[in-house]
Chain A
Amino acid sequence: MTESITVKTVEELKDAPEEYREAVAKLVISHAINELYGAQVFDEPAIAYAPTPYAKWLTCRVAMEEYGHHVRFRQLGVQMGIPEERMVPGTGKKPLSIFEFPLKTWEEFVAIKLLADLAEILQVEDLLHCTFHPLRNLARATMPEERFHAQFGEDFTAELVKTPQGKETLQAAVNEYFPYLPSFFGGSKSRNNEIFRKWNIKQRTNDEMRADFMTRATEVASKYGLTLPEVRQAA
């Protein structure tokens, strides 16, 4: 059952129920931590692997936008009264397990952009109608950039699959990385997700988002002649 509430500003948040306030805080903290961690372990190191100045500077832009997302979520969190130390890795909430993948090559980075940023787009889409408007607006602001990051993945995938060796190497990277992704959407019986939906902070269950991701990831992979490995989907 959903509760009817709209919180238009950070100032109004203090009058919202405690459960609501804690729920939006969890989301802001999670996004702040994971945007930063992803930039640190994937996007910035990938600059060195990029094969040309064109690819390097495009990767620079991606990295800086991801850091920028961290900055914006952190700034929102500070306005909400969340201590800054709760919004950086290492001092509380752990980053997502998708970041445990050890990035070693350009092809692996392209696979990550193709698939992980698609997953990120789904998460941001689910915030576009959020009843906490500052978070809704921030999701809307980051969406064009997330789409650019996923398009980056597609554009460089298209380059790599032009040669048999490039396609084989990229397929191997997809096979290695894709199993990390289904758990990105959380557990099937998540209490957090139940609360998010109760207050219309988010719209969909974790299973619905995971199923949508599997469909869209399969489509985008097959567009370039790639396949996805079988993985255990339920978390």
Chain B
Amino acid sequence: MSDVIGLPAATLARLKAELRAASWFAALGEPLTGGDRTDAAAYAGALGLGGLTIDLAKDWPEAERLLKSSDWSSHLWDREEALRRDLLQRAEAHYPERALWTALTELTTEAGDLVHGKAATAASRMGNAAKASIHVAAGAASQAVYQLAVARLAGDAASPFESKFRLFAAGRWPLGVVGSRVILF
């Protein structure tokens, strides 16, 4: 990783360690636990979408169908994106823009390779995954890493991106909101 003058090295190092330790995609389709439901509720609630039912996608074909559903809600996505922009602005106020951008890009590049392999492993183990879905999973996980990094660099230790990452670290993939349900895979 290149020299990122002025950025908090300890924060980035801790984040990288958490990424490596996470159980990416290891629990896809498994029955939901109390911990999963708690983290999912915290994640949706922090984005103003509390009170929704937490539900499970059991396999890759069901996950794919839900991700292409005309019933999916853009609210979660739009709120995440608004939050990300706000946090990025706050981070940019603290650190040199070029160094911040380089650190985020290198982090997500490294994370992308890791999560792509884990997604491919999970798809191979479970079967019935469309080839492109591995890339979709990697895209979702990489995005979560980027969002978490932006939040921590902005100094927000309680952002919804923390509970989102906890879901991924526990082997889940939060697919989003479809109808009145928050769906975990």
Contacts and interface: CB of A to CB of B under 8 A. Distances in A.
Interface of A: 48, 52-54, 56-62, 64-65, 67-68, 70-72, 75, 78, 148, 151-152, 155
Contacts of A78: 2
B29 interface: no
B140 to A, nearest CB: 4
17 contacts: A52-B68, A52-B69, A53-B72, A54-B68, A56-B77, A57-B143, A58-B132, A58-B139, A61-B116, A62-B135, A64-B108, A64-B112, A65-B112, A68-B108, A68-B112, A72-B109, A151-B132
The residue in B81, B116, B132, B176 that gathers the most chain A C-beta atoms within 10 A of its C-beta is: B132
Contacts of B106: 71
Interface string B48-80: 000000000000000010011100100001000
Give the top 5 A-B pairs by smallest Cβ distance, nearest first. A61-B139, A60-B139, A57-B139, A54-B67, A68-B109
B163 interface: no
B165 to A, nearest CB: 16
Contacts, number: 66
Given A52-B72, A68-B112, A57 B140 contact: yes
B38 interface: no
B136 interface: yes
A207 B110 CA distance: 37
Contacts of B143: 57, 60
B63 to A, nearest CB: 9
A64 B142 contact: yes
A160 to B, nearest CB: 14
Interface residues of B, number: 27
A53 B67 contact: yes
Nearest to A75: B2
A61 B176 contact: no
Contacts of B91: none
Give the secondary structure class of A's interface: helix
B57 to A, nearest CB: 12
Interface of B: 2, 64, 67-69, 72, 77, 81, 105-106, 108-109, 112-113, 116, 132, 135-140, 142-143, 146, 175-176
B132 A155 contact: yes
Contact of B136 (A54, A64, A72): A54
Nearest to A85: B98
A82 B69 CA distance: 48
Given A54-B136, A56-B139, 8 more contacts: A53-B72, A56-B77, A57-B137, A61-B138, A64-B108, A64-B112, A68-B108, A72-B109
The residue in B68, B81, B138, B139 that gathers the most chain A C-beta atoms within 10 A of its C-beta is: B139
A68 B105 CA distance: 7
A148 B116 CA distance: 13
A57 to B, nearest CB: 4
B68 A67 contact: no
Nearest to A151: B132
A54 B185 CA distance: 14
A61 B112 contact: yes
A83 to B, nearest CB: 13
Given A70-B105, A71-B105, A78-B2, A60 B140 contact: yes
B135 A61 contact: yes
Nearest to B137: A57
The residue in B64, B67, B116 that gathers the most chain A C-beta atoms within 10 A of its C-beta is: B67
B108 A61 contact: no
Nearest to A148: B135
